[in-house]
Amino acid sequence: AQSVTQPDIHITVSEGASLELRCNYSYGATPYLFWYVQSPGQGLQLLLKYFSGDTLVQGIKGFEAEFKRSQSSFNLRKPSVHWSDAAEYFCAVGERNTGNQFYFGTGTSLTVIP
Amino acid sequence: DVKVTQSSRYLVKRTGEKVFLECVQDMDHENMFWYRQDPGLGLRLIYFSYDVKMKEKGDIPEGYSVSREKKERFSLILESASTNQTSMYLCASSYRGQGQYFGPGTRLTVT
């Protein structure tokens, strides 16, 4: 069965520090991969996506993610975190064939310390 | 930019009432989704639709129904609201598998 694991429920970093949020997935083939961000009381916003090709993808707000097939991982990174990055982050996989099945991790909550 | 709008940001209803949550997208996406989000449980899919008048049950369809009469509009219906349906409801649309675009959410409280 397809599943997405975000092992870190909550992460705290200092402003200006680097960030890495982990995501592992279980899927029969290479899925579409996504990261979303959710600010309090808001919907989810698509940060970046991977379909194929270059395994390092750039997204909005200075985020990037790297697809590692051998590890079934798609970790999100940012070199220098800003206070406004405090939010909930969700990793998701999408099914390629029909394109209408998506599976989400349970999210990682990011706190940024001034 | 894709825009997904939901009819209400906050809604308070009484137990037993029929509740309609409306979602509209403006990008001609064929797929639309309804999720509920609860602390510690993440996003759970209630229903999705891949075409007008077509629907598929998600993980937690019990107590809900949906309607999609026009491509841009996907409605979630709580036939008889109960307190355990108090939650944040998120609508999304997508073009094939190329990522979902979410609305701002409706926080529903059932008293």
Give residue B82's domain range. 4-100
Q: What is the pLDDT along chain A (114 residues), one digit of tens a residue?
A: 788 999 999 999 999 999 999 999 998 777 899 999 999 888 899 999 999 889 999 999 999 999 999 999 999 999 999 999 999 999 999 887 776 788 999 999 999 999
Q: Mutate which of B6, B7, B29, B37 to test chain A, going by most A C-beta atoms within 10 A?
A: B37
Identify the closest residue of chain B to A39 by CA–CA distance. B104
Domain count, chain B: 1
- Report helix, strand or coil for A41: coil
Chain A residues close to B40, C-beta within 8 Å: 106
Residue B52 covered by a domain: yes
Rounded distance between C-alpha atoms, residue B32 and residue B95, angstroms? 9
The domains located in chain A, with CATH, are 3-113 (2.60.40.10)
- Measured between beta carbons, which residues in chain B are less than 8 angstroms from residue A41? 105, 107
Question: What is the predicted pLDDT for the residue at A40?
Answer: 87
| Tokens matching residue A9 | 């429920």
- For residue B33, is it within any domain? yes
Distances (CA, A) of A107 to A10, A12, B37, B94: 9, 14, 11, 20
The DSSP element (H or E) to which A46 belongs, if any, is strand A44-50
Q: How far apart are CA B49 and CA B58, in angstroms?
A: 10
pLDDT at A42: 86
> Cβ–Cβ of A41/B107 closer than 8 Å?
yes
CATH of the domain at B26: 2.60.40.10
Do residue A100 and residue B94 have CB atoms under 8 angstroms apart?
A: yes
Per the DSSP assignment, residues forming a β-bridge with A36 are A46, A90
* Cβ–Cβ under 8 Å, residues B81 and B89: no
Contact flag A32-B98 (C-beta cutoff 8 Å): yes
**Which string of b and e fits A14-47 if b means at least 16 CB within 10 Å?**
eeeeebebbbbbebeeebbbbbbbbeeebbbebb
